Structure 1
Amino acid sequence: MPKIMEFVYVMIIFLSIFVVITNVNAHIECKNDFDCPKNMCLAPRVAWCVNNKCECVLTYGPKYSTMKEKLLQKEKI
């Protein structure tokens, strides 16, 4: 019985490490596009500052010029 309780305690401690270390909602804060790291996104996406967070945005297509404005409007809703 003591070995089982010890195992349970060790598992609780071990699993709690992952809960503390893992931050799924982590984001990079920014004030403009130049604050976002260049290597954050894979091509053809680039890092843009949208509502003070760096976001990876697709940069080709017919609506490329208005894409950032649409993202900003979507976040306000």
Structure 2
Amino acid sequence: MTKTLKFICIMILFLSLFLVAESFATGMPCKTDKECPNTSTHKYKCINDDCFCFYIYWPLGNSLV
């Protein structure tokens, strides 16, 4: 029982290392989505006159090429 509980705690700690915030404010003022910068891995949207960054995740097994 204690080994199972210890394993579960370790897995939770291990998996929490890979969790990141889905979005965050950049502090850049904007009026439209076009005023926000975009990269290949980040998509910015204008929400409440502020640019918010959203990560773009690629599914496993799909290549970028």
What TM-score does the superposition give when structure 2 sets the normalisation length? 0.39
Whichever structure has more strand as a proportion of its residues is 2
For the pair shown, the structure with the greater C-alpha radius of gyration is 1
Answer 1 or 2: higher relative contact order, Cα 8 Å, separation at least 6: 2
What TM-score does the superposition give when structure 1 sets the normalisation length? 0.36
